[in-house]
Amino acid sequence: MRVALGQFAAANNWQDNLEIVLDLVRRASAAGCDLLVLPEGILARDIADPEIVRKAAQPLNGPFMSALLEGSAALDLAIAFCLHVPSEGSGRVFNTHVVLRKGQIVASYRKLHLYDAFAAQESEHVAPGDLVPDLIEIAGLKVGLMTCYDVRFPELARYHAIQGADVLILPAAWVRGPGKEHHWETLVTARALENTCYVVAVGECGPRNIGASMVVDPLGVVTHRAGSQPTLILAELDPEGIARARADLPVLKNRRFGLAMLEAALHDAKGD
C-alpha cells in the first residue's frame, strides 16, 4: 500500500480548507497513492473560538463533503479525515472520521473517546459515538479507524488487530503542551508495536497543534516523520513486513485475553 500523509493547518472557514484538501488529493493521486490520510477537524479551526466546531459543523451531504466527493470521484484513492457533523436534538456535534473512495463514503466512525483532559473539555460541544467501526480494505490490506484521543486507550487498537487489521489510521489534532510531543510519539509507537500493525497518524499543525505526523511500522520503528509545518509525506506499507513482524513477535497469538473481554471493555468505555 502506498500512503500519503497530508499535514496542514486548518483555516477558520471550510472553503479555504477545501482548496487545501483538493490540492493534497491531486498530489497524492498523481504520486500513485492508494490512501491519503488527513488531520482531525478539517472543516474549521479558530483557537480564539472554542465553539467553532459547532458553528462550522456540516452534515455528510453538506457543501464541503459534496465538493470533495465530486472532486475525487474519478480518482482511485481512498481519503480519510475527520470533520464535525451536527447531532440532531443534542445541541452538540459528532467528531466523525470518514473514508471516501470513488465519490462514495465507504466508512464513517463517530469518535468514542472525547478529549476531556489537560483542561480541555471536548464533550462540551461534541457528543461521543457508541459504535466500534468495522475494518475496511484498501489495496489488499485491512484498515482500522481511530481518532486522536482514542490512541490513549489501547482497547480499540487491540480490538481492530484481533479482527485482522494490518494498518491503523489516526487523524488527529494533538494539542501543544508540556510533554505532549513525547506522549504522541510514545502512544502511536506503542499501538503499532503491541499489535504488530502499521500506524499512520496524521496531526494538524499550526499555532494550536503539534503536527508531527508519522508512520510507525509493526515493530515500533518510526519510518516517516513530519515536523511542525504543512507537508505531504509519501510512504510504502509492506505486507511482507507485517507477516515477518508477526512471525518474529507473535503477540496476537500469545495473548490471553479473548475478544469477548475486549468487547466488554469497549462497551464500558462508551461515552467516557
Q: DSSP secondary structure string, 70-112?
A: HHHTTS--EEEEEEEEE-TTTSSEEEEEEEEETTEEEEEEE-S
181 near 155, Cβ under 8 Å? no
Catalytic residue (one of 40, 122, 155, 204): 40
What the block records as the C-alpha cell of 238 is: 509492506
Burial of 219 from C-beta contacts in 10 A (0-12 / 13-18 / 19+): middle
Catalytic, 253? Answer no
Q: What's the predicted TM-score (pTM) here?
A: 0.94
Catalytic, 40? Answer yes
What the block records as the C-alpha cell of 44 is: 474549521
Q: How far apart are CA 72 and CA 60, in angstroms?
A: 15
Return per-residue pLDDT of the chain as tens, 272 residues. 999 999 999 999 999 999 999 999 999 999 999 999 999 999 999 988 888 999 999 999 999 999 999 999 999 999 999 999 999 888 899 999 999 999 999 999 999 999 999 999 999 999 999 999 999 999 999 999 999 999 999 999 999 999 999 999 999 999 999 999 999 999 999 999 999 999 999 999 999 999 999 999 999 999 999 999 999 999 999 999 999 999 999 999 998 877 777 777 666 655 44
H/E segment holding residue 52: helix 52-55
- For residue 272, the model assigns a pLDDT of 41
Angle in degrees, CA 113, 7, 56, rounded to 5: 60
Catalytic residue (one of 33, 82, 122, 148): 148
φ/ψ of 244, rounded to 5, equals: -65, -45
Catalytic residue (one of 33, 82, 111, 122): 111
Domains in the chain, please, with CATH? 2-269 (3.60.110.10)
The CA dihedral of 162, 36, 18, 43, to the nearest 10 degrees, is: 20
- For residue 271, the model assigns a pLDDT of 45
Catalytic, 111? Answer yes
